[in-house]
Structure 1
Amino acid sequence: MPITNICPKKWPELAFESLKDTLATVQLWTQIVGKIRLIKTPWINHSWHVTLYVSPRGLTTGSIPYVDGNFQIDFDFVAHELLIIASNGKTEKLNLYPRTVASFYAELFKKLDAMGIEAKIYAKPNELDPAIPFAQDEVHKSYDAVQMNLYWQALVNINSVFVKFRSEFTGKCSPVHLFWGAFDLAVTRFSGREAPLHPGGAPNMPDRVMQEAYSHEVSSAGFWGGSEQFPHPAFYAYCYPTPADFGEQVVEPSEAFYSNEMGEFFLLYEVVQRSENPAAKLLQFLRSTYIAAAKTGNWDSHLQCDLTGYEK
């Protein structure tokens, strides 16, 4: 399948300064929803049971088991509402607007109670510092509907390319999913070999969770909205453990660069967005950074699918 058919050539412009306050609030909303999925779902390796997925309207938990069947929680960034649906026919919704995390948290659990869904979560953020309890967070209250819709449109396009990239690998590979801890969309390939014990160290995250997540060798790529320290939406790629010569590898496209401080390759979203063929540009980055990880980490070559017939 030609990569030009993966997603539209026109990708939305994203500006960190316009997005940052909305993303900070929405990330906390997704942490609340993600923790509901976490507590109601059996543990899946590498915390794959906690993530959200890109949907045709926003983000979704997918089906979650509970005593009356299944339920699902969807962020709709078109109609700007949160929808809770259950297999017994019950539904509830919350409106998304500039509202505090405390307000969102209180109304969501009120709606769940009305549907007979019991979920007792650890009600503080993970991987964030400070970790203000959700019920007390009156600080984060931004929601720019236009900016959030643009960000979701970008996620739709990125998700399609990540799924394509995932299809090229025959070994163990994660779903394409959004981790609400760092609010990044990611896909991870595994060599099949165990890895050295991870040191942990993420803020407000038990080391044992990080150690299980990185129990085996990985090559991971993703998309992240940026931070005050790095105010650019960007794609990243890293491996664990990290070979000494990983960062010295030549990767594509030419605009990609390696951060010694972070131990990762980066490619700014704007480079992809402004290119003539964004999907092709992004696939260059995903494929070449994986090759860098596989080459320096001595991964088995049979794990890579034959790309003959694919547009480069």
Structure 2
Amino acid sequence: MNERMMDAGGAWPRLRVDDWTDTKDTLHMWTQIVGKVRLAHAPLLNHWWQVTFYVSSRGLTTTAVPYGTGAFEIEFDFIEHQLRIHTSAGSVRTVALEPKPVAQFHAETMRALGELGIETRIQATPNEVEPAVPFAEDYGHASYDPAAAHLFWRQLLQARRVMEEFRSHFAGKVSPVHFFWGAMDLACTRFSGRGAPAHPGGAPNCGDWVMAEGYSRELSSCGFWPGGGEEGAFYSYAYPEPKGFGEYPVAPAEAFYSKEYAQFLLPYEVVRQSDAPDSTLLSFFRTTYDAAADGAGWDRAMLDCDPGRLKDFE
């Protein structure tokens, strides 16, 4: 692995996007395969929350997915570099995370599910990417650098930790901190409680009705995306976007509004290099939420809260 990719001494690891693009793109396809397995079995939740992954102590997990009268769980283990499928009956199957084509990973994963008695049919083409090569025909994505995958997971660990702190300051409807495999981003979304105009869609190889469900309520969303910038980027956007949103003063000074993406962005490396990374990132999440909530007139007295409000009772 290239020495430029990591800072072993820091909690916030260095991982240059250009140094792991091939692995990232392959891993993206692998997560889509597993995500579609969860989609095939989990009942629909608002905004597609039933399809997401969660950052675990070893990687990314589906958590328990219902199947018959039991359940199964699939986890990308970025420490031992295995895909593990566990069932509530106690059975386990693994698929090695190693350099291999998407087609092979797809075949091995579906075979493992079959051996466990989990009958699964998925829409076997990726979403939100162009071109959308069917998984069974994808021999172009075949890279896996275990050190890079491990560093990406460590990025997610740090981002999740701070996003959970940010989430705790909201008493209204708010999503978990979860990983969407469509765009390969970690996200947390707050809702005002009001409806939103129908989303126009437009994501590549993804039905407009998918986005219409995802954005059916007025929201402010933040997250981390391993693209954009040298080492990935934190983002924050509003739907629908209130007037003056992009001109709202936000922190830190390095944050900016991208007209291309219609959202505020903060390069990951700004946070990593900060003397106080958590505070720097929290300032970005809080001020960009202010831009959305104040700009759209959210009932902040009702929705915002102090997570330390019960400390006197402990």
**TM-score bracket, shorter-length normalisation:** over 0.9
Once the two structures are superposed, what CA deviation does each residue of 1:197-222 show, in whole Å capped at 9, x if it has no partner?
Answer: 11011111111110011111000001
Kindly indicate whether residue 305 of structure 2 is the aligned counterpart of residue 298 of structure 1. Answer: no
**1:261 shift after superposition:** 2.1
**How big is the shift at 1:308?**
7.7
1:19: which partner in 2?
Answer: 20
Structure-1 residue corresponding to 2:101: 100
| Equivalent residue number for residue 161 of structure 2 | 160
Q: Equivalent residues in 2 for 1:146-225 (5 A)?
A: 146-225=147-226
Partner of residue 256, structure 2: 257
Deviation string 1:214-249 (CA, Å, 9 cap, x unpaired) is 11100000100115xx55400000000011200000
Deviates more, 1:18-27 or 1:120-129: 18-27
State how far apart, in whole Å, the 2-side matches of 1:274 and 1:231 are. 13
Deviation (angstroms), 1:14: 1.5
Aligned to 1:4: none
**How far apart in 2 are the matches of 1:277 and 1:87?**
42
Say which is worse superposed, 272-281 or 52-61, in terms of deviation: 272-281
Please name the residue that 1:40 is paired with. Answer: 41
Equivalence for 1:277 = 276
Is this contact kept in 2: 1:19–1:147, CA < 8 A?
A: yes
Query: Which one scores higher on RCO, CA 8 angstroms, separation ≥ 6?
Result: 1
Tell me the CA shift for residue 65 of structure 1.
0.5
What letter is aligned with 1:235? F
CA distance in 2, matches of 1:79, 1:308: 37
1:157-182 CA distance string (max 9 Å, x none):
11011111111100000010000000
CA distance in 2, matches of 1:271, 1:231: 10
Per-residue deviation, 1:67: 1.7
Counterparts of 1:68 and 1:93, CA distance in 2:
23
Where 2:51 maps in the other structure, the secondary structure is coil
RMSD over aligned Cα, in angstroms?
1.4
- Structure 2: state its 5+ residue gaps: 1-8, 310-314
Aligned length: 300
- Determine the C-alpha separation between the residues in 2 that align with 1:261 and 1:154: 25
The normalised TM-score by structure 2 is 0.93
The residue aligned with 2:75 is 74
- The answer as to whether partners of 2:15 and 2:152 remain within 8 angstroms in 1 is yes
Taking every aligned residue pair, what percent have the same amino acid on both sides? 52
Question: Structure 1: which 4+ aligned runs deviate by more than 3 Å?
Answer: 306-309
